[in-house]
Structure 1
Amino acid sequence: MDKHTGDRGAVRGPEPHPGELIVGRDAELARLFRAVDSVSADPVLMLVGDVGTGKSALLEHAVRRAEAGGARVLRAEGSESESSLAFAALHQLLRPVPAEVDGLPGRQRAALHDAFGKGPATPEPDLMLVGVAVLSLLSGLGDHQPVLVVLDDAQWFDRASLDALSFAARRLEGEPVTMLIGARGGDHLPGFDRHVPTLTLEPLDNAAAAQLLRLQPKSPTGHIRSRILDQAGGNPLALVELTRTASAQDTAAGLPSAGPLPLTEHLERIFAARLNGLPAATTRALLLLAAMDSADSAIALSAGLPHAGDEIWPPAERAALVRRTGHDVRFRHPLVRSAVYHAASLGDRREAHLALAEMLRDEPDRSAWHRAAACPHPDAAVSAELERTAGRARRRGGHAAAAQALQRAAELAPQREDSARLLVEAAAAAVFTGDIAWVEELVAAARTRTADATLLASAAVQAGRLAVLTVRHPVVFSRLADAAEELTVSQPAAALDLVAGAAVVRFYSGEDTQRHRIQDILRRLPENAPHAGLRTWVRTVSGPFDDRDQLLSSLPRLIAEAKDRPERLTAVGIMAWLLDETPQAVRAFDEAFDRWQVRGALPEGLGGAVAWAYAERGRWEQAREACARTTAIGRVAGLDHAVACAAAVDATLLAFQGDPSSARTRAEDALTLIDPLESRSVAVYAHRALGAAAAAEGAYETAYGHLRMVFAADGAPMHYHASYPALADLAAAAVRCGRHEEAATIVERSAAALADHASPRLRALISRARGLLADPEDAEPHFRAALADPVLEYWPFERAQTLLDLAEWLRRRRRIAEARGPLTEALEIFRRLGARPWIERARAESRAAGLDATDAAPDALAELSPQQQQIVRLAARGLTNREIGERLFLSPRTVSSHLYRSFPKLGITARSQLRDLVEGTLATAAHQEQGHRRGAGRRSAGWVCRLDPTPPVAQS
């Protein structure tokens, strides 16, 4: 597994370990060896199979192979009883490397310590930072030797650990780290389901099964052999264990006399039979180990279980129930643990859990779960203890663990009202897991336990919070609207909350009938002053151009009220963005991010609003950071719609920056994650991105085809908000592929639909479109109108496009001197943004206009990929590789690799030169362009009219 030397030699053949036969798995073992030898290009490989198919044995061979090659191996084994403890699996994985954890940067180290309950918990820890910390730690270990991460029985990992590990797994490309995951087939493994290469262990074929039987110490013959082959069904563990039992008894009595039994029950009975004759102390120790089911020997020892060298264990080892390795005592197979546990009486199991609860009193979360497992009936004290456990889990960011603890606390609560309250709290915690089915299950259970209107309303709101982020828009909208209508009289505040969620669904779907229903519900709700902000939210989200002026007038008051509430600032920012008040939106988001630094991760904006606002404002680096964060959170939570929203924004920026291939990939990713007919907003954004990618390559017929899909066959917008910004780009593509008439019809229809409600930005875009589509002699007034309002400088890319269009028109009318001013400004903006295709187009036009456009320094940055540009700019500001990695969710090694590849393109040899290069590039470009502008200005003063010097609301 030599990723340092790039060793890609031939794969050595399978090397079975003595005493642990691997039969019929040559191909699978070779695939694992390719992974650990770095012959495979896949840094992550999932091994999937039913119980007993040999996953653990194959992984053990891979571990030996990696260790023989000098790799550092970190491993964790899933534990059913610890699947409710936040970060338990991650803690087990990283327990052997405490020094490396302590060597992480401060924020990352604190995030891991907080996750493991070692430090002062923050109110809302940044879960993405935990993932970055894991990635950084694995990458750092790889600096010294290759690393193999083995996650066995991952179906029993706690959700918080899976989230962190899947986050890191998606970013291991180029790292000297390989991750092998063993999981049961059919089990859902959050974060690892999509795009992870999977090796499935099927049952052994007849020849391999027969060979495995022949290799057993006492190979069965005759009728017994046939029965074993039939009963085992190709399961290696079943073949071995049935053979061992039959051989021990020298008879077929241990097998069913007729007909098959369920394989798991059958094996459990066989394992349980081995308990007969064991010393009482051994049996008790086995039950304690089974009840705890911890694969972490350090925890087992701290709980008071006998040491691996204790004389209690050899009888269990001789009975093939456990395996002792060094300080560890482990069950040979999860079925052994199950057999031991279920073979005990209910009373013995209860005593074992109570004993463990006492042994683990210094670990209150584990102790609480054991007390709960020992409870045959409701118990208020244990329920309260689990509720406290949930609080600790939530403070560490373990939302799944918190929800599980609250759900169990509800089961143990003696009073039905308390049980209902706990279930609603469990639903609130489960919202953050993205598991909509679980949330709905908890809400449904709460409804069966209470008639309290307030609690039921709260339950409906919790279900609605997550439902709006799924792709089931028609179903979710109907459910939210129905619930809101039922609560309009009895619980108007909850009804308004539900309508607010319905408005978000309306935005995603773009369905006009939903807007009418929202308006009808709003009319039936009392207009209470305390809820005015939420009503404004609903009206803005569901129809921002219906009454834009009145909605705008509400923004200053809402901003003042949200001053100390980052989540409200975010909501106001989203409203400002929807109203095309992008400067206000960006200021609100900036302030919210600043205030949220000590309170945890900023929640998602509606449909990628944060990223869109930064993109429109020309802050593309921050827009892509927002996309990266949304993608990370969305993938962890399984929220495909959020991921699709981010992918569409990211695709657009990639196209603008001159990476059309990556832009197409991201846009197509977005379209595969949603139903274009039910999520029109994302579909429109994705087609706008595909249109921009085609335009960047000069494929205007293709660009027009994509942009035409942003509008319906009759020319109406496919989406009431997302379609309109595409009007000018549609016109630009149309004039280059002979579609003037059709495009003009669409533009005028949109202009008529917006009428007096259009924002200054949309009026400018419509004017630009009209200028492009007009006869040459009639175009100038439209271009001038598109540039007249000074507020339009806040949309720099759109302004630069218009400037370039005007300059091209002027030059073609032989007004070359007048063309130089707008041309110079357009080129300056494109260079500052890093819009490579438009830089080249503006440079070509500049040369035609007699301007010197050979400035090499800005083009040096433009030669970098969009991600390299991001990294270079952050490095130039003095951020370390680790800090850049935290921003962009990359490992320090990946950041370093990008910088290493960027230096030759930039003509530098040291990091210290970056700041001078970036600042010098901008200063030189600005100086030259000011000179060009002064020259052009002397020849053509006042090339653009500014009709209204008074700044509008967006500048206040």
Structure 2
Amino acid sequence: MDKHTAERGAVMGPEPGTAEPIVGRDAELARLFRAVDPVSADPVLTLVGDAGTGKSALLEYVARRTEARGARVLRAEGSESESNLAFSALHQLLRPVLAEVEGLPGRQRSAMKDAFGEGTATSAPDLMLVGVAVLGLLSGLADHRPVLVVLDDAQWLDRASLDALSFAARRVAGEPVTMLIGARDGDRLPGFDRHVPVLTLEPLDDAAADQLLDLQPKSPAGRVRSRILDQAGGNPLALVELARTASAQGTAAGAPSAGPLPLTDHLERIFAARLDDLPASTTRALLLLAAMDSADSAPADSSGPPRAEDAAWLPAERAGLVRRTGRDIRFRHPLARSAVYHAASSGARREAHLALARMLRDEPDRSAWHLAAACPQPDAAVSAELERTAGRARRRGGHAAAAQALQRAAELAPRREDSARLLVEAAAAAVFTGDIAWVEELVAAARTRTDDAALLALAAVQVGRLAVLTVRHSVVFSRLADGAEELAATQPAAGLDLAAGAAVVRFYSGEDTQHHRVQDILRRLPSSTSHAGLRTWVRAVSDPFDDRAQLVSLLPRLAAEAEGRPERLTSVGIMAWLLDETPRAVRAFDEAFDRWGVQGALPEGLGGAAAWAYVERGRWEQAREACARTTAVGRVAGLDHAVACAATVDATVLAFLGDVSSARARAEDALTLIDPLESRSVAVYAHRALGAAAAAAGDYETAYGRLRMVFTAEGAPVHYHASYPALADLAAAAVRCGRHEEAVAIVERSADALADNASPRLRALISRARGLLADPGKAEPHFRAALVDPVLEYWPFERAQTLLGLAEWLRRRRRVAEARGPLTEALETFRRLGARPWIERARVESRAAGLDVTDTAPDAVAGLSPQQQQIVRLAARGLTNREIGEKLFLSPRTVGSHLYRSFPKLGITARSQLRDLIDGTLATAHTGE
């Protein structure tokens, strides 16, 4: 009886429709069937439980029944020995449909082939493109019939596969695609451990356990039965296997005795007992299979396990250790494999791994791991082979696999200095998994192996690089600052790297004491022309208003030096954004993204800067695309802070577009992911977004309350950079809910704090705030000051708000004719941006000013949801559903569904009409009717 059959005894018959009844798992089985129902609200479900509780049996039963009803079922089973081979589980899952890969768009097809080591690329594939390709492949298969993806023993799936599959799992809502995942209870599944429903298999109750024993061929009785029930603790596999052992031995003494060993150890001993009377040829075959444990078929080779039809397997089948599935031989349960492997002597295990390494000589990565498993002591040649394996894994984007290979290579390196180097390289690769505990473990191990100052400095930088992106800002800042101070004299370049990371953490936290420490570190670090750009970065990030003019003057040279280097251009863009040089920031980001494409395994520090720059520049669709990418990467890597940053930008745009409920949901999500006292920047952005959403809904009391939280009780900014742009919105809400006096004090305090270091943009926002709050007879100069500088056209939404404020003031002063010009310009801008609440407000004011304003096509587009607007505009540019999906991280089916629902709202019937509609919308917006 195999793992599936043994567990089925407590769950269901071996095939749907057989006479053997379901025992003890009715509710769980019903929940799984609800999940695979096409109308299910939860297309992804994780099934967790201890070994032997029935996970595999339940998944197998549901898969067979679903397949019998016409669905396509794709399966992958985690393998402990292949958990370090990048994309091995994804290849296993998609092997039956690999021909469909050829039908994917070119970039997705190339990314998938690169991931499987079949492409020609020399650099790592774009991991997000791999995820989009998986999503597109599943969606395409679902065009013909429903698709069920079953991932069993998911705790052993390789990290690269988990990342791609979790990416797709978050986007299958609305698709006829279901994903069922089986995993050991307590094991963390990156990407699946948040917002994924979990069904836990508890032990069987006493009645079900008794019923299961009654169903066994030789049901135990009396004292033996009592001891089995007590020993098994409701575990179905334990009940079946202990009953089988007692039956085979035929005496009460055959029942397992009580003892301190965990249940799984007892079961392993039970499986191992079955090896005693097996022929030597069978024992060798089992050991080779246990050492290989591959989900892929092994090549025919005399060094490896015999073919499935070989007679050596028959005694193992009779002993209940293996099962034959077509041309494959598999262990019936992981415990059987474990028992076989550990029952063998160390010499026999070593010979088995060496034999498998010879067998897999054409698969160098798998061969290298077997050679490593056969090494009882350090071996330079095997260490070097694993280092080459890591290089191949990195080129396929398998950062976790690369780090694992380098870590094992370090263990096998005979020389301590080589071991330390490999551990630091492993840490550098592990950075891209987002697992900071692992990175710190690798760096700590490296420190025990070397005194090389340069290498230890590099190790510290690797930890700092990832730590910056976590939510532990206070702890991380102290570590980075301490490291920077320690390295200032001996390794100044590394010290400056750590100071740069500390400056980013200072931005996230907004803690003033951290600013003083960063300044002190800069004074300790020697000046160097080769590091001038990084010093400028530290200054700009930690305090962009300290000698702003001098920092701005350095940007042209830094931009010239960064030309053609995407990572440097991104840094220049971030600095420009911080300094309110938004036009230069957008140019830098555009060039960086054009050259870099969408590469980059982790969000960079201050990765939200690009999205904010696009928001300010009025390119809201691009801002949302940047948020989608940061969210996708951050969730895969488990970087909640990066996800929260993106959520606040997205929430702000949604509020501007008038999707109030979605904006609130996104902002609240951001607040749940961070500690507001640790991440003041994110908290401020979230409250600004919630304030914008309330204002869009006309709830100015709530809007003021949210925006008031952006400043302290005394009226100082909560965050030294993120709070100031809220001044004008605070003033606008204040005049509508009677908080005039308090708002004046806050605005003037901020104006005094900024003084001559305020940017033209902030001066304009302060002027608008003053105009809104001023006595009626004194407001005009402030509004005019907020519009006088031509550079302010680069912030179109903010300028349009000022124009509307001026027009409202003019009309109230009965200067109606003068109000019409700014009103018309403001309405044009709001329409172009799709800012629905502001369109309506400008319309009302325009009609009051005597302008003839009627509903037109722009309002039809504005009536769509923000995501539908994005999709419609991209479709109007001629992009296909697949291309749009690739850009927005959606499946082609989801894109098509949005278009289908959008056409009636737009009054069109064909995709070909979209371009004329959108062009007409823009033309009307520019002419202003």
Q: Who is 2:290 aligned against? A: 290
Q: Who is 2:278 aligned against? A: 278
* CA offsets 1:258-316 (integer angstroms, 9 cap, x no match): 43431111111100111122222221111111111112336688984333222222221
Q: Is 2:616–2:796's contact at 8 Å kept on the other side of the alignment?
A: yes
Cα gap change, 1:836 to 1:260, in 2 (>3 Å): same
CA distance in 1, matches of 2:257, 2:170: 50
Q: Who is 1:953 aligned against? A: none
Cα gap change, 1:247 to 1:15, in 2 (>3 Å): closer
1:199 alignment partner AA? L
Q: Who is 1:848 aligned against? A: 848
Q: Who is 1:861 aligned against? A: 861
CA distance in 1, matches of 2:671, 2:498: 28
Deviation at 1:122? 3.5
Deviation at 1:567? 0.1
2:226 alignment partner AA? S
1:906 alignment partner AA? L
SS in 1 for 2:145: coil
SS in 2 for 1:24: coil
CA distance in 1, matches of 2:40, 2:785: 58
Q: Who is 1:201 aligned against? A: 201
Q: Who is 1:250 aligned against? A: 250
* CA offsets 1:191-223 (integer angstroms, 9 cap, x no match): 000000110001111111111111111111111
Unaligned segments of structure 2, at least 5 residues: 1-10
SS in 2 for 1:182: strand
CA distance in 1, matches of 2:297, 2:14: 26
Q: Is 1:16–1:22's contact at 8 Å kept on the other side of the alignment?
A: no
2:431 alignment partner AA? V
Cα gap change, 1:529 to 1:19, in 2 (>3 Å): farther
Q: Who is 1:432 aligned against? A: 432
Unaligned segments of structure 1, at least 5 residues: 1-12, 930-956
* CA offsets 1:498-531 (integer angstroms, 9 cap, x no match): 0000000000000000000000111011001100
* Pair 1:529-2:529 in alignment: yes
CA distance in 2, matches of 1:249, 1:21: 28
* CA offsets 1:176-203 (integer angstroms, 9 cap, x no match): 1110000000001000000001100011
Deviates more, 1:791-800 or 1:97-106: 97-106
Q: Who is 1:118 aligned against? A: 118
Q: Who is 2:578 aligned against? A: 578
Deviation at 1:599? 6.1
Q: Is 1:593–1:602's contact at 8 Å kept on the other side of the alignment?
A: no
CA distance in 2, matches of 1:278, 1:601: 50
Q: Who is 2:407 aligned against? A: 407
SS in 2 for 1:96: helix
SS in 1 for 2:714: coil
CA distance in 2, matches of 1:599, 1:906: 36
Q: Is 2:162–2:190's contact at 8 Å kept on the other side of the alignment?
A: yes
Deviation at 1:783? 0.4
Q: Is 2:650–2:666's contact at 8 Å kept on the other side of the alignment?
A: yes
Q: Who is 2:315 aligned against? A: 315
Q: Who is 2:185 aligned against? A: 185
* CA offsets 1:822-845 (integer angstroms, 9 cap, x no match): 000000000000000000110111
Q: 1:42-191 to 2 correspondence within 5 Å?
A: 42-191=42-191
CA distance in 2, matches of 1:284, 1:642: 51
Deviation at 1:920? 1.2
Q: Who is 2:416 aligned against? A: 416
Q: Is 1:868–1:902's contact at 8 Å kept on the other side of the alignment?
A: yes
Aligned length: 917
CA distance in 2, matches of 1:604, 1:879: 29
SS in 2 for 1:814: coil
Normalising by structure 1, we get a TM-score of: 0.95
1:560 alignment partner AA? A
Deviation at 1:104? 1.1
1:358 alignment partner AA? R
Cα gap change, 1:561 to 1:433, in 2 (>3 Å): same
* Pair 1:328-2:328 in alignment: yes
Q: Who is 1:554 aligned against? A: 554
Deviation at 1:15? 6.3
SS in 2 for 1:46: strand
Cα gap change, 1:202 to 1:779, in 2 (>3 Å): same
Q: Is 2:52–2:237's contact at 8 Å kept on the other side of the alignment?
A: yes
Q: Is 2:601–2:633's contact at 8 Å kept on the other side of the alignment?
A: no
Deviation at 1:20? 7.6
Deviation at 1:744? 0.5
Q: Who is 1:671 aligned against? A: 671
CA root-mean-square deviation: 1.5
* CA offsets 1:239-267 (integer angstroms, 9 cap, x no match): 11011001100123344444343111111
Q: 1:439-838 to 2 correspondence within 5 Å?
A: 439-597=439-597, 603-604=603-604, 606-838=606-838
Q: Is 2:602–2:634's contact at 8 Å kept on the other side of the alignment?
A: no
CA distance in 1, matches of 2:298, 2:907: 53
1:244 alignment partner AA? R
Normalising by structure 2, we get a TM-score of: 0.97
CA distance in 2, matches of 1:512, 1:388: 46
Q: Who is 1:23 aligned against? A: 23
SS in 2 for 1:521: helix
CA distance in 1, matches of 2:196, 2:172: 12
CA distance in 2, matches of 1:92, 1:834: 45
* CA offsets 1:337-359 (integer angstroms, 9 cap, x no match): 11111111111111111111111
Q: Is 2:770–2:782's contact at 8 Å kept on the other side of the alignment?
A: yes
* CA offsets 1:898-932 (integer angstroms, 9 cap, x no match): 00000001111111111111001111232344xxx
1:117 alignment partner AA? G
1:79 alignment partner AA? S
Q: Is 2:824–2:928's contact at 8 Å kept on the other side of the alignment?
A: no
Q: Is 2:828–2:928's contact at 8 Å kept on the other side of the alignment?
A: no
CA distance in 2, matches of 1:141, 1:306: 36
Q: Who is 1:917 aligned against? A: 917
Cα gap change, 1:668 to 1:818, in 2 (>3 Å): same
Q: Is 1:125–1:600's contact at 8 Å kept on the other side of the alignment?
A: no
Cα gap change, 1:481 to 1:300, in 2 (>3 Å): farther
Deviation at 1:611? 0.4
| Identity of matched residues, % | 86
SS in 2 for 1:878: coil
Q: Is 1:123–1:599's contact at 8 Å kept on the other side of the alignment?
A: no
Q: Is 2:49–2:55's contact at 8 Å kept on the other side of the alignment?
A: yes
Q: Who is 2:4 aligned against? A: none
SS in 1 for 2:252: coil
Cα gap change, 1:382 to 1:14, in 2 (>3 Å): closer
* CA offsets 1:110-141 (integer angstroms, 9 cap, x no match): 11110000111341321000000000000000
Q: Who is 2:880 aligned against? A: 880
Q: Is 1:465–1:501's contact at 8 Å kept on the other side of the alignment?
A: yes
* CA offsets 1:369-398 (integer angstroms, 9 cap, x no match): 000000000000000000000000001000
SS in 2 for 1:89: helix
CA distance in 2, matches of 1:594, 1:602: 18
Q: Who is 1:941 aligned against? A: none
